[in-house]
Structure 1
Amino acid sequence: MAATSIDIIIPSYRLEAQYLLPLLQLQRPAATIIHYYVIADNPAVVVAPAIQQLVNNDDIKLLINEHNLGAAVSRNKGIDSGQADWILFLDDDIIVPPNLLETYAAAIQQYPDATGFIGLVNLPPAQDAFTRAIQVSGSMDIFSIAQRKPAYAWGATANFLISRNAISDIRFSHAYPKAGGGEDVDFFLKVRAHNQYKDYQSLPAAAVLHPWWNQGRVNYKRPFRYGIGNSYLAALNPAYTYYDWLNTPETLLLTMVAIIIAGLLQPTALPLFACLLAGIVVIECIATTVQAIKRRAPLQPAVYVYLLLLRLSYETGVLWGNLARGRIKGFGERFNDNCRMNKLKFYRTSSYRITKWVLYLLLTWWLFTKFR
């Protein structure tokens, strides 16, 4: 059996020993050379003694960034520091089975010409209405893609093995926000295109557990950040973009601009626009409820509320990401998450969109009859 080599790249800000130690002590498969590159993206970090004892600058290296550079730059630093045949990206806060590397090594032996392998990232069972809403929203469906598809165009860097030969000189783009969001999708798509658009193989046996962020506490910064990253994905990957109906934040913004103009030019029209503004919010609530029922969400009001707020946080991130860069053409512009190239630049219908726009037509008709 020919020996193979794997570089394990783990960017980390916290360097929490409870998560990192099991990663650094994974069982090492026979005939496989393993090197770790832990990139501390926090110059003020205090390294736990238990971690420091394992760092030997031979097969376990700790690289501390002089400044907070972000996950993309940190991963690039790890890529350039090693030279193994394969590169395994892992998050710094996952819970791993002891035989994870053995599972990946077996896959390499069976499919040596693969571009890469998508590992499975499981989330814990929902612990409350908020975490249930995250599950139902579909925002983290990429974590379980290895369980649902035999191959796919991208995966989560929380658990992903890729061939160094396949990536060539491609690196994570620095164009994306430093806090993260979108740069991983961009990277995997570029590598895929470099390899004749060959999808990555799913490897559900390589499964890890990702705890709920912030112990599952309610937080909307993550979906907002993902929304910003998605606005960059659409702008930087035009082959995968399309135009859709305006989302709720876009519609609300344009309505508020119209209200301001109406207030200056035709104050008598203000009641009409006030009703329109209220109607938009009600319509979004109804459409989100229809979508949740379709996804078989439990009929709990709190889940629907969180679903609505998660969607609005994400869509507001998309809007902000475009406005902050002066991209007016970003209104209605979307990135196709399934990474299919769009021959038609306007998106297909769905129950969510149909519900929204039927209700918009009814609202417009009601306003017309009420205020004419």
Structure 2
Amino acid sequence: MNSSIDVVIPSFRLNEKYILPMLRLRKPANVNIKFYLVADNPSLVPSPAIQSMVNNGEVFLFVNPQNLGSGLTRNNGMHQGSGEWILFLDDDVVVPDNLLEIYAEAALRYPEEIGFIGLVHLPPPHTAFTRALTVGGSLDIFSIAAQKPSFAWGATANMMIRRSAMGNVSFTGKIPKTGGGEEVDFFLKVRERNSYRNYKCLPEAAVQHPWWNNERPNFKKPFYYGKGNSWLGDLNPRYAYYDFPNTPETLLLCALALVVLLLVKPAWVLPLLAFMAGVVMIELAASIVQALKRGARASAQEMLYIITLRLVYETGVLWGKLSRYRFWKIGERFHDDGIINKVYFYRSNTYKIVKWVLYPLLVLYLLQYFL
């Protein structure tokens, strides 16, 4: 039985080091393969080597008239084709020669599946910053195919879905071009369209992804990712719930209370400032305990990066809500694992348990000290 796969590769750079091996992947028998390169950079001039492979029969190249961001760029690519399957690849992954054969064989072996989540390997971390990224959990979705038999969404760095399962679902244009959340939104909507069926994990379909920024610290990415993720509750309210304020939210509420107290009850300003300092100390303690449990080294620099990454991400989420005047969204969280559960304030983990223990102790101490 003949099948067809459209490979969609959005790119700002069209780096031939990564793109050419994708275009030269071995093609499985009886499968029609087409590649859709979409350059999200109007001023980009493709290298002669890439341009020589564009034939408008199997390899197509489109250049966006303006920078649109990765989500809308993927839309432009997948809407150009009509293949039975759509394979999403990032423009900076290293692919094995048999990647298409693995996906094609899986599609034949599991005809009832709506899609497959491939595995994305990152190199071993060599710096405190990349060790912090690994331990902190923000990259867990890359390895989800090795951890679970199926999941609610996957990284577009390496994932294939059935076009008929997708229907008219597209990547949203509401999330900022800086990214974060658009793939969660897209895959959850496709999943919802298919009676909430998870995507099958396919660890044998593995690619290699290099570290960003040569493993140097970069806090813009987690901030922008948080800002993008702040849209998820608006776009998918059935997965949203409320929880106790996190550290940036708590400090913001305290700062607002501080302004009021300066006007009506100045004697309470000092206790509130002490409480805010305690909040920061509790955040440090809870993050360290959780990081050690996840296998972090007892390194001050690594711990500092883990804590900073968490705070920067959470501040990005908070800023995304405040910048849209969604003040009532403070405290809103999102089940990105596809769980629909409106039981609020119930989720616990090591990080939260430590905070639940220390917050009452902090309040009792301050009451005893100031009263």
TM-score bin, normalised by smaller chain: over 0.9
Distance 2:244 2:281 in 1: 17
Displacement of 1:269 = 2.5
User: Does the 8 Å CA contact 2:178/2:225 hold for their aligned counterparts?
Assistant: no
The answer for the alignment partner of 1:20 in structure 2 is 19
The answer for the alignment partner of 1:165 in structure 2 is 164
Q: In structure 2, the residue corresponding to 1:62 is in which secondary structure?
A: strand
The answer for the alignment partner of 1:313 in structure 2 is 312
| Residue 253 (structure 2) pairs with residue 254 (structure 1) | yes
Aligned pairs for 1:16-95 within 5 A: 16-95=15-94
Aligned pairs for 1:1-372 within 5 A: 2-372=1-371
* Deviations, residues 29-69 of structure 1 (Å, cap 9, x unaligned): 11111111111000011211111111112211110000001
Q: In structure 2, the residue corresponding to 1:299 is in which secondary structure?
A: coil
Q: In structure 1, the residue corresponding to 2:112 is in which secondary structure?
A: coil
User: Does the 8 Å CA contact 1:279/1:363 hold for their aligned counterparts?
Assistant: yes
Displacement of 1:250 = 0.4
Distance 1:224 1:106 in 2: 39
TM-score, normalised with respect to structure 2:
0.98
* Deviations, residues 293-328 of structure 1 (Å, cap 9, x unaligned): 111211111111110001001100110011011111
Distance 2:112 2:280 in 1: 51
TM-score, normalised with respect to structure 1:
0.97
Distance 2:197 2:264 in 1: 57
User: Does the 8 Å CA contact 2:38/2:62 hold for their aligned counterparts?
Assistant: yes
Displacement of 1:268 = 2.8
Displacement of 1:270 = 2.4
Distance 2:151 2:269 in 1: 50
Distance 2:347 2:112 in 1: 36
State the AA in 1 paired with 2:32: I
State the AA in 1 paired with 2:194: N
Distance 1:141 1:359 in 2: 28
Displacement of 1:343 = 4.1
Displacement of 1:340 = 0.8
Q: In structure 2, the residue corresponding to 1:125 is in which secondary structure?
A: coil
Count of residues in correspondence between the two structures? 371
User: Does the 8 Å CA contact 1:36/1:59 hold for their aligned counterparts?
Assistant: yes
State the AA in 2 paired with 1:290: V
Distance 2:280 2:196 in 1: 41
Distance 1:358 1:262 in 2: 27
State the AA in 2 paired with 1:248: T
State the AA in 2 paired with 1:64: V
Displacement of 1:355 = 1.0
Q: In structure 2, the residue corresponding to 1:292 is in which secondary structure?
A: helix
* Deviations, residues 86-139 of structure 1 (Å, cap 9, x unaligned): 100000001111111111111111112310011001111011111011110111
Displacement of 1:226 = 1.7
State the AA in 2 paired with 1:348: R
User: Does the 8 Å CA contact 2:248/2:318 hold for their aligned counterparts?
Assistant: yes
| Unpaired stretches in structure 2, ≥5 consecutive residues | none
State the AA in 1 paired with 2:140: D
User: Does the 8 Å CA contact 1:243/1:347 hold for their aligned counterparts?
Assistant: no
State the AA in 1 paired with 2:148: K
State the AA in 2 paired with 1:198: R
User: Does the 8 Å CA contact 2:92/2:209 hold for their aligned counterparts?
Assistant: yes
Displacement of 1:369 = 1.3
Displacement of 1:337 = 2.3
User: Does the 8 Å CA contact 1:241/1:345 hold for their aligned counterparts?
Assistant: no
Distance 1:347 1:159 in 2: 33
| Unpaired stretches in structure 1, ≥5 consecutive residues | none
Distance 2:345 2:171 in 1: 29
Displacement of 1:353 = 1.0
State the AA in 2 paired with 1:296: G
